[in-house]
Amino acid sequence: MLLDDHWGEMGRATRRSLLALGATSLLAFDDSEARKRKHKNRKKRRRRRKKGGHAGTGNTPGPVLPVRRAFPQQLTYANALLPNHASRAQLTSDVRAFYERWKSRYLVALVGSDGNQQYRVAFGRNGDKRKITVSEGQGYGLMIVATMAGHDPDAQRICEGLWRFARAHPSEIDNRLMDWRVPGGEGNDSAFDGDADLAYGLLLADAQWGSSGAIDFRAECNRTLAGIRASTIGPQSRLPMLGDWVKPNDGQYNQYTPRSSDLMTGHFRTWGRATGESVWNDVVAACQAAITTMQQDYAGTTGLLPDFMQPRSGSDHRPRPANPNFLEGPADGDYSYNAGRDPWRLGADALLHGDATSAAQAAKIAKWARDVANGDPRKFRAGYRLDGTPLPNSDYFSIFFVAPLGVAAMCDPGLQTWLNAIYDAVVKTTNEDYYEESVALLCLLLMTGNFRDPTR
């Protein structure tokens, strides 16, 4: 299937959301075929366990609990910028409007088989995509809604319902984790990022309401983290693996082949504080070392990271950009629809934890992006080679690529004008789809000082 130049902006947005998990660039290939190839590879590597979820968790409606950290939180991050061309009241209003639009488009209520209320985040606004939910979206949704408590009077019930849906659809490999796609049919296993964001969202929910309601958010988080640690963290590499379907020492996919956007150092620091487990410090160190190596050896000018990484050889585990079609498509070794989240993840670690290494890594990307776009976010392309060459068919604007740059720009005092321009471009864009708008909303929460570390 070719994406032709005659599609309107809405058509391109729809296509991009379809590509977001299965094909990471707008090149000429059919993403359904990419999916088949991806899951054919997965099926070869899965170790199946008996399917068994926890759909009954929190089935009895509990009390509505008081909100402890109501939106707007209006935090000021240490040594960081905020947009300074609008008042705090305007920033808050912008987030409220974006959230209500996101909620009306993608949040779907349903009743579970046990008769209890569930919620899921739809993979798109319309058509077949609206029937699909991925664990990534559930994680985004849980983090977003928990943060918007105080604005949204139904936030607690929605978070409980989002978690019930996740538990009703466990991975059949490690049932502490969520099936990456519902409905499945392409391998009912996990994807690292969805479970990671779900665990963080559970901590946010516990910080908002405690765990004495219908869902024991803290206990559910601990169980999820135990699954993540056991089934998706490399035992020697200490890097996130792609999912519980990956065997640590297998050939093609193993503990040295991470997705760059899974290197969520901020999440790992929070988990370390929440659990007291030192392993998460090891994971932070391994992730930062991989990012530093990639930026120094392959992206000295741009700082860009590839969608996926591979080891340089069987005996040299230092990372390099993945080969084309490594897992999802021709742009697997480029800065595309996975790696576009990296400036957000790096920036979040810098803002929430004050980490200088992540701040420098994020700012390197943000400064190059400003220069290549001549200070105009709408000129930033939708995907690049690591040397800064635009990818084919990338000549369009998307808030997916630009919003994360806003979070990264907050880490450099010289990027105030760039941050302001990014902020305006994001809040004025209303015609994209699930993936772009979910990532953009999470970035807006940080850009407005409304996202926090739940352990502080």
List alpha helices for 299-355, DSSP H: 342-353
Is 193 labeled as catalytic in the residue annotation?
Answer: yes
Residue from 94, 136, 152, 436 carrying the catalytic annotation = 136
Tokens 């009390």 map to which residue? 63
State how far the Cα of 38 lies from the Cα of 28, in Å rounded to an integer: 17
Token code pair at residue 95: 């987030």
- The amino acid at residue 401 is F
Token code pair at residue 391: 């990818």
Is 136 labeled as catalytic in the residue annotation?
Answer: yes
Residue from 152, 174, 189, 193 carrying the catalytic annotation = 193
Taking residue 293's Cβ as centre, other Cβ atoms within 10 Å add up to 15
SS3 content of the chain, % helix, strand, coil (to 5): 50, 5, 45
- The Cα-based distances of 384 to 269, 299, 365, 401 in angstroms read 30, 11, 12, 11
- The Cα-based distances of 104 to 135, 152, 274, 398 in angstroms read 19, 13, 33, 21
Torsion 301-302-303-309 (CA) sign = negative
Tokens 């899921």 map to which residue? 120
Active site residues: 136, 193
